[in-house]
Structure 1
Amino acid sequence: MRRDFYARLGRYTAFSSFEECRFSVMLPDQNEQTLAHAAIIAGMGLHTGVPVRMVVRPAPTGTGVVFVRSDIEGTDNRVAAVAHNVTKTNLGTVITNSSGVSVSTIEHVMAAFAAMSLDNVVVELDGPEVPIMDGSALPFVQLLDQAGFRRQALPQQVIEILEPIQVVDGDKSAVLLPCDRFEVRFEIDFPGTPIGHQEVDLVVTEQSFREELASARTFGFLQGVEALRKAGLARGGSLDNAIVIDGDTIMNEGGLRFVDEFARHKALDAIGDLYVLGMPILGRFEGIRAGHGLNNALVRELLSRPDAYRVVTRGVALADVG
């Protein structure tokens, strides 16, 4: 039955590792995880250009990922990183609570949380936007390593994809497919530019994320950056935190970190965008020219289809260890 479905979907689901996705889920035990200690990092917002200090703190079991705007008082300044709080997806993912308090550009740090299997953290910010750092997730991975990790009492829950879910917008698409591990494939096309056609396809583990995706930077075209600045965006953007393309030239000294760094960064973005589901995924994500908007549309489509997924518990309850 599933093979017939894949055949009908054609190119969007004709992936080489289908046979490896066995659909017989035998999960190793794993409990929820938080940080051992708080960690601090500071930088500048990519779009606001505003300096921001970020503190990532341990949180109790069941908290999830919660951002706190410490610069805002007198109203609810806590914004949970969950699907229904995503309010904007143009040039980054923005979450907003019911009081109108928002946090922008969360996708890179969310990707680090997902890859490091961090279930419960509180992220305090004294500004409206997560610092862009070097444009990748690597500084956040290094920050989390400095803090250390602590296993918690409750078994971790994961969301298992049972049936294919797809969203399409013209020549762009995003799909989640059943698989007994988390895989990501991303394909992009920028004809006539140094990017060209690129594809990345990998099993996402902590190690593969560290080695293959974490250091891949965000990117943009010089002409587009100038237009964004005129519109009041990308005020903090520079060659220090983004790959910038001018015609046929990569402007960054030292060039690229990977030949296909652009596709790798889009895969990184997708991992962060999917983590607003609030738990790890057992499934395969495939994106073709997709962006934050289509990634979030896929999350919402999945949640609207309770027949297409189930929540699976892994691990056993422990005496309270954190």
Structure 2
Amino acid sequence: MLNIYQKTLSKKASFKGIGLHSGKIAEISLIPSAEDTGITFKRTDIKDNNLIKANFQNVSSTNLCTVIKNQHGVSISTVEHLVAALYFTGVDNLEIQINNSEIPIMDGSAKDFVKIINKAGVKNQTKKRKYLKISKEVKIHNKNKFINLTPQDQRLKVNYELDYENKIISNQKNIVDLSSDNLEDIYSSRTFCLYKDIQKIKEAGLAKGGSLNNAIVVDDNKIINEGGLRNEKEFVNHKILDLAGDLFLAGHRILGHVKTKHGGHELNKRCLDLLFSDKNNYELFEVTKPDIRKENFIIRSEKIAAIA
């Protein structure tokens, strides 16, 4: 069911960890924030112009992670897992203070973030939450990759497919309702890479903090990590985790049906760009009150001219 009111943390929460690509330790504080402020990152290691809104319009790179940057060139990288955790736990408004340029990778999933947020607690605020409902199909095809957004009321349904030549990853599919399903397998699924690609990634100056503690490494016919997978669809489930974080950069929770194959950060960003290129593609609405008789919600729709 859809929540009526916006939410923030009940109290401050702090943690630290290593960045996957930078290899640098970052200290994070999650600070409760007022209604309608959304998700904002604050670089505490920089004195001025250090605020970055978690918004798709601020995405500056999608190379192996999602990077957002403000108009002054101040950036935060690898935001997708933490933003996905905020989506899963129902947080709308939060200031994320960080003393470095990359969100810690933790164990390669969003599991630790969800645990930290749940321990701090989430509370209702006084203003109502606005949902973004897909009104028209939005479609992007790029060779063997595609992503489609189509209308579907009161839920975000994801149909995701991977098709790798690697025998271990192979073809994986999953269909998940991000609005109502148990999402533990999604937020617990770790990032992954092929062993043969590691040298190339490192030569590009990335994955300086990568290890078997924060990523699944797949060789030709085996998983190198001790203990193997956490769930049988961990590869595609991690891609769904990334998708949830990237789509929450819309600034609102999207309600619709997402179908994608070989998706990724770049395709997710292009999808949001296309979605917001035409105001007829979507509308925002609030939940007014629960209809107990129908065990559902009465919806009041209101067209929004633009999203800042």
TM-score, normalization: structure 1?
A: 0.87
Cα RMSD (Å) of the superposition? 1.2
Residue deviations 1:220-244 (CA, integer Å, cap 9, x gap): 0122122211221100000000000
In structure 2, what is the equivalent of residue 46 of structure 1? 20
Distance 1:207 1:76 in 2: 39
Counterpart residue type for residue 268 of structure 2: N
Is residue 2:232 matched to residue 1:259?
A: yes
Instruction: Say which SS state the counterpart of residue 115 (structure 1) adopts.
Output: helix
Residue 29 of structure 1 deviates from its aligned partner by 5.4
Question: Is residue 31 of structure 2 the alignment partner of residue 62 of structure 1?
Answer: no
- Quote the Cα distance in structure 2 between the aligned partners of 1:266 and 1:236: 20
- Is residue 190 of structure 1 aligned with residue 167 of structure 2? no
Query: Segments of 4+ in structure 1 off by > 4 A?
Result: none
- 2:242 is matched with 269
Deviations 1:63-109 (A, max 9, x none): 10000111112x20000001110110010000000010000000001
Q: What is the aligned counterpart of 1:147 among 117, 120, 125?
A: 120
Aligned to 1:119: 92
Q: CA deviation at 1:214?
A: 0.8
Answering whether residue 267 of structure 2 is matched by residue 294 of structure 1, we say yes
Is the contact between residue 31 and residue 315 of structure 1 (CA under 8 Å) also seen in structure 2? no
The CA deviation at 1:207 is 5.3
Write the letter of the residue equivalent to 1:182: L
Structure 1 partner of 2:218: 245
SS of 1:213's equivalent? helix
8 Å CA contact retained: 1:115, 1:206? no
1:36 aligns with 2:10: yes
Return the offset for 1:247: 1.7
Q: Which amino acid aligns with 1:48?
A: S
Per-residue CA distance 1:16-48 (angstroms, 9 max, x = gap): xxxxxxxxxxx7551000000011111100000
Match of 2:176 in 1: 202
Q: CA deviation at 1:315?
A: 3.8
For residues 230 and 212 of structure 1, the distance between their equivalents in structure 2, rounded to whole angstroms, comes to: 32
**Aligned-residue offset at 1:193:** 2.9
- 1:32-111 equivalence runs, <5 A: 32-73=6-47, 75-111=48-84
Judged with a 3 Å threshold, the aligned counterparts in structure 2 of structure 1 residues 206 and 228 are, in CA distance, closer, same or farther, namely same
In the alignment of these two chains, the number of paired residues is: 288
Q: Which of residues 114, 118, 130 in structure 1 aligns to 2:103?
A: 130
Quickly say closer, same or farther: Cα 1:222–1:33, change in 2 above 3 A: same
**For the Cα contact (< 8 Å) 1:117–1:280, is it kept in 2?**
no
> Which consecutive residues of structure 2, in runs of 5 or more, have no partner in the other structure?
290-308
Indicate how the Cα distance of structure 1 residues 28 and 143 shifts in structure 2: closer, same or farther if over 3 A, else same: closer
CA distance in 2, matches of 1:253, 1:315: 49
Aligned counterparts of 1:172 and 1:308: Cα–Cα separation in 2: 22
Between the aligned partners of 2:167 and 2:121, the Cα distance in structure 1 is 41
Bigger mean CA deviation after superposition, 94-103 or 283-292: 283-292
Map Cα deviations across residues 173-212 of structure 1 (whole Å, 9 max, x no partner). 1111111111111100112331000001011136522x23
Q: Is residue 130 of structure 2 the alignment partner of residue 157 of structure 1?
A: yes
- Structure 2 partner of 1:9: none
String of CA shifts for 1:145-167, please: whole Å, max 9, x gaps: 11101110110000000111011
Flag the structure with higher helix content.
1
**Matches of 1:86 and 1:30, distance apart in 2:** 29
The residue identity in structure 1 corresponding to 2:102 is E
Q: What does 1:1-16 correspond to in 2, within 5 Å? A: none
Please give the residue correspondences for 1:219-234 in structure 2 after superposition, counting only pairs within 5 Å. 219-234=192-207
